[in-house]
Amino acid sequence: MDYSVKVMDHFSNPRNMGSIENCDGIGEVGNAKCGDIMKIFLKVEENRIVDVKFQTFGCGAAVASSSMATELIKGKTLEEAWKLSNKAVAEALDGLPPIKMHCSMLAEEAIHEAINDYLRKKGLEPWKD
């Protein structure tokens, strides 16, 4: 399987890997078919993501997608982060093989879960896709 240089870089040197103590929102999603599990941790101040970390159990494309997605939403408002699409994650990685596109989908879903977890903790209505 051919991966781009960017995918290999984010897989070999993942950005924002780890967890955040006392985080404001956690999103965990998984794909039972391939066994990938992705967890995103958010630290939010004044509606802006000031820190984001991830833990991913899965293939190289899943790790690279998590790494790139966290880079793309750091410093963004919740609304901006919500709009990050799996296509944007894949494009930022210079493409993913079609069989691995679900990995970028997991990143989008995990971000949505983490934002909604944050909103629920604040007593707000979760957002819909």
CA distance 21 to 41: 9
Model confidence at 33, in pLDDT bands (50, 70, 90)?
A: confident
**DSSP assigned state of 99:** G
Q: How many domains does the chain divide into?
A: 1
CA distance 71 to 91: 13
Catalytic annotation, pick one of 17, 30, 31, 34: 34
pTM of the model: 0.95
59 labelled catalytic: no
What is the extent of the structural domain holding 35? 5-121
CATH number at residue 39: 3.90.1010.10
Position 29 in a domain: yes
Position 38 in a domain: yes
Position 128 in a domain: no
Q: What is the pLDDT of residue 4?
A: 97
Position 127 in a domain: no
Catalytic annotation, pick one of 103, 107, 110, 114: 103
Residues contacting residue 63 through CB under 8 Å, at least 6 positions apart: 10, 11, 14, 56
pLDDT digits (tens, 9 = 90+) for 42-83: 999 999 999 999 999 999 999 999 999 999 999 999 999 999
Position 129 in a domain: no
Q: What is the pLDDT of residue 72?
A: 98
34 labelled catalytic: yes
Structure tokens at 12: 């070999």
pLDDT digits (tens, 9 = 90+) for 70-116: 999 999 999 999 999 999 999 999 999 999 999 999 999 999 999 99
Model confidence at 40, in pLDDT bands (50, 70, 90)?
A: very high
Q: How far is CA 45 from CA 8, 42, 50, 82, 119, in A?
A: 32, 10, 6, 16, 13
Position 42 in a domain: yes
Position 126 in a domain: no
